[in-house]
Amino acid sequence: MTGPRESFSISRRHVIGAAAALALPRYARAQAAFPSRPVRIVVPFPPAGAADVISRLLAEPLTRALGQPVVIENRSGGGGRIGTETAVRSAPDGYTILMGSQATNSINPELYSDLTYDPARDLVPIAMVGGVGSVLYVRNSLDITSLRQLIDRARQRPGELTYGSAGNGGGSHLATALLETMADIRLTHVPYRGTAPATADVLAGQIDMLCDPIATGLPHVQAGRVRALAVTTPQRFPGLPDVPTFAEAGVPGYEAVSYYGLYAPVSVPPDVLAKLRDVATTAIADPATSRRLAEQGMIDLRLNPEQFAAYVAEDRRRWGQVIRAAGITAN
């Protein structure tokens, strides 16, 4: 016969068990309801730069797809290191993602020896947005009209021709350093605090050339303020159909494309990562978004996350070789 205490214990166990059974589905539903609050994209560079513009173009279609606001948070500094570390150290729940780039994921790990993270280990790709090429242009007063002539002049007079960049180890610096390595020439590097002041000195005739991202260099070329010699993309850029690629202009195998892509902390749950990848791919492929990205000089490289990771690994290896061969330092 069951006593009162035992009856109470059994009843209590039944109540607890029933409550747990009811709670489990509710918990599972809560876990599956990603996102339930705003998602932030950390941009590791200042407002109005390429990474920021691209992120803001994507924010609207991502907001529609996720059903929650997608907000942009600029965390600039350290050549992209501060914002990247912010994303790496954030909770791996899908609510913080990074707008990564060639600078943050390929160049910085090879350029800085004191990084507290490794993008290849601590971040997982969500989606590649695309690549942005550059255009090499010279001042109009320089008597050089082709890349072949530039290479010949540099071989005849090593170090005489000058080129600007956005700073030591930046994309514009490395793209020209790659030309020096592949063409076996020597130019004189003049670093600036960004490509805008470097462009101003090309226009003023203070330096000879600049390898400028197409998005910012295109207006100067189209207005005839500078003379374009080649583009760094594997194919000609539609907005500059008469400007050859470096490969066509005399440097076979040359390519320098700065990629941009979305990343999450490496331990993000698989279902959340899958959703982020699905909505990001859809948003990037949207015709209106694709058109607006193309207007920024972006080319669609059409890589899935696994291909994107392999592309970045090879890109990092390649730029690491350039950095070491040219003796480039962060200072």
pTM: 0.77
pLDDT surpassing 70 at residue 18: no
Confidence category of residue 73, pLDDT binned at 50, 70, 90: very high
pLDDT of the residue at 300:
85
3-state helix, strand, coil in the chain (%, to 5): 50, 20, 35
Which residues touch 257 (CB under 8 Å, ≥6 apart)?
102, 131, 132, 133, 232, 233, 234, 299, 301
Report strand pairing: 209-213 vs 134-139. Answer: antiparallel
pLDDT digits 0-9 by tens, 107-146? 999 999 899 999 999 999 999 999 989 999 999 999 999 9
pLDDT of the residue at 238:
87
**Residue 165 covered by a domain:** yes
Judgement on whether residues 217 and 266 belong to the same structural domain of the protein: no
∠ Cα 257 260 262 (to 5°): 155
Judgement on whether residues 218 and 295 belong to the same structural domain of the protein: no
Which residues touch 35 (CB under 8 Å, ≥6 apart)?
66, 67, 68, 94, 95
Domain stop point among 176, 196, 231: 231
Judgement on whether residues 148 and 212 belong to the same structural domain of the protein: yes
pLDDT of the residue at 80:
87
Give me the percent of the chain exceeding a pLDDT of 70: 90
Q: Indicate the range of 165-169, 210-214, 285-289 predicted with least confidence.
A: 165-169
CB contact at 8 A, 41 and 10: no
Judgement on whether residues 179 and 319 belong to the same structural domain of the protein: no
pLDDT average, residue stretch 58-67:
96
Judgement on whether residues 274 and 125 belong to the same structural domain of the protein: yes
∠ Cα 246 51 232 (to 5°): 0
Report the CATH number at residue 166.
3.40.190.10
Judgement on whether residues 109 and 143 belong to the same structural domain of the protein: no
pLDDT surpassing 90 at residue 216: no
Which residues touch 195 (CB under 8 Å, ≥6 apart)?
164, 165, 166, 172, 210, 212, 213, 216
DSSP helix/strand/coil, 99: strand
**Residue 244 covered by a domain:** no
DSSP letter string, 48-95? TSHHHHHHHHHHHHHHHHHTS-EEEEE---GGGHHHHHHHHHS-SSSS
**Residue 164 covered by a domain:** yes
Domain stop point among 188, 213, 231: 231
CB contact at 8 A, 202 and 247: no
Judgement on whether residues 138 and 216 belong to the same structural domain of the protein: yes
**Residue 109 covered by a domain:** yes
**Residue 251 covered by a domain:** no
ω before 25 within 30° of 0 (cis)?
A: no
**Domain boundaries, position 89:** 39-130+258-326
pLDDT of the residue at 158:
97
Judgement on whether residues 153 and 208 belong to the same structural domain of the protein: yes
**Residue 167 covered by a domain:** yes
Give residue for tokens 């303020």: 225
Judgement on whether residues 119 and 53 belong to the same structural domain of the protein: yes
Task: Report how many helices (DSSP H) and strands (DSSP E) the chain contains, helices first.
Answer: 13, 11
Judgement on whether residues 171 and 185 belong to the same structural domain of the protein: yes
Q: H-helix or E-strand containing 38?
A: none
Give the Cα separation of 109 and 328 in Å (integer). 13
Higher pLDDT, 216 or 101: 101
pLDDT digits 0-9 by tens, 182-200? 999 999 999 887 788 899 9
pLDDT surpassing 60 at residue 204: yes
Report the CATH number at residue 91.
3.40.190.150
pLDDT surpassing 60 at residue 273: yes
**Residue 215 covered by a domain:** yes
pLDDT of the residue at 21:
46
pLDDT surpassing 90 at residue 35: yes
Number of alpha carbons in the 13 Å side-chain half-sphere of residue 193: 3
DSSP letter string, 104-117? IIIIHHHH-S--S-
pLDDT of the residue at 26:
46
Give the Cα separation of 134 and 151 in Å (integer). 18
Q: Which of 65, 69, 70, 108 is nearest to 88 (CA)?
A: 108
Confidence category of residue 48, pLDDT binned at 50, 70, 90: confident
Judgement on whether residues 125 and 268 belong to the same structural domain of the protein: yes
Number of structural domains the chain divides into: 2
Long-range contacts of 60-64 (CB under 8 A, 24+ apart): 61/282, 61/283, 61/286, 61/288, 61/289, 62/279, 62/280, 62/283
Judgement on whether residues 148 and 111 belong to the same structural domain of the protein: no
pLDDT of the residue at 51:
85
pLDDT of the residue at 210:
96
pLDDT of the residue at 32:
54
**Residue 1 covered by a domain:** no
Q: Indicate the range of 75-79, 138-142, 173-177 predicted with least confidence.
A: 75-79
pLDDT of the residue at 270:
96
Q: What does pLDDT average to over the chain?
A: 89
